[in-house]
Amino acid sequence: MGLHQRKRCEIRPIGVPCVIRHIRQSVCLQHIDIPFKTPALTGVFSVFFPAQQMKPISQDNVIRTYRFYAPLYDLLFGAVLEPGRRALTETVNSVMPASVLEVGVGTGLTLERYPASSSIVGIDISQEMLEIARQRAALLIEREIRLEAMDAEALDFPDDYFECITIPYVLSVTPNPERLVSEIRRVCRKDGTILILNHFSGSRFWWLLERTVRSMANRIGFRSDFCFSEQILKHDWEVLSVRKVNFLGLSKLVVIRNT
């Protein structure tokens, strides 16, 4: 925020637009305390929405959560997250890579839209999600699709193996996103394409929901407090583009060159 704007807010500390702007800016910068200048307002806000570290998720919980979600997943998250998946596969089609690794392939909702000429490997830690993906893949005859149970934080592939890696709605679900990023960078070719599709905190429309479900990360199977600058910009890869996708910009599609 510019000095000029900050000054205006200090003069009119409880103006509604000013308060909304402050709340939005504070959502992503969770390591910084709420930037309100009015002590009373700061106190009230932090009682309801205390600034916290990113919530931990255990591997057991990911497995348990997606065992529960598997039969309902397509119904709950199929259509609602579909525009993002479409944008992701369109980008893959514009790159036309020879090989694609999809990390956290889930029930295989993207599989049919990858380029027919690409060799596809999908991995997931949940056997139940993977079983549905296998049924989908079985219908895609004449396509080269391999599905395997594997932890994305300990990939069983050699270095520089894939030309393109996609990570749709997984980065804020995995227990240790940094370890996942390090692994996908290892198995992705230098100059290869990495596509991350995810919700990041700080959205204009979704901040209240983010804050409300934040403490439930381990139960609902994803973190809502997932900061773009901390999870994407801090790595020394090249971010080529960032585009909002899904209803009211719920998610972002990030296109990255592996350097």
Ligand X SMILES: C[S@@+](CC[C@H](N)C(=O)[O-])C[C@H]1O[C@@H](n2cnc3c(N)ncnc32)[C@H](O)[C@@H]1O
Question: What DSSP string describes the chain?
Answer: --HHHHHHHHHSTT-HHHHHHHHHHHHH-TTSPP--S-HHHHHHHHHHS---PPPP--HHHHHHHHHHHTTTHIIIIITTTHHHHHHHHHHHHHH--SEEEEET-TT-TTGGGS-TTSEEEEEES-HHHHHHHHHHHHHSTTS-EEEEE--TTS--S-TT-EEEEEEET-TTTSS-HHHHHHHHHHHEEEEEEEEEEE--S--TTTHHHHHHHGGGHHHHTS-S---HIIIIITSSSEEEEEEEESGGG-EEEEEEE--
Choose between 18 and 167: whose C-beta lies nearer to ligand X.
Answer: 167
Choose between 62 and 100: whose C-beta lies nearer to ligand X.
Answer: 62
Smallest gap from residue 203 Cβ to ligand X (A): 17
Smallest gap from residue 66 Cβ to ligand X (A): 4
Smallest gap from residue 105 Cβ to ligand X (A): 6
Of all residues in the shown chain, the one whose CB is closest to ligand X is 106
Question: Which residues of the shown chain bind ligand X in the complex (CB under 6 A)?
Answer: 62, 66, 77, 81, 85, 104-106, 109-110, 123-126, 129, 151-153, 168-170, 173-174
Choose between 9 and 153: whose C-beta lies nearer to ligand X.
Answer: 153
Smallest gap from residue 67 Cβ to ligand X (A): 9
Choose between 64 and 143: whose C-beta lies nearer to ligand X.
Answer: 64
Smallest gap from residue 133 Cβ to ligand X (A): 9
Choose between 28 and 81: whose C-beta lies nearer to ligand X.
Answer: 81
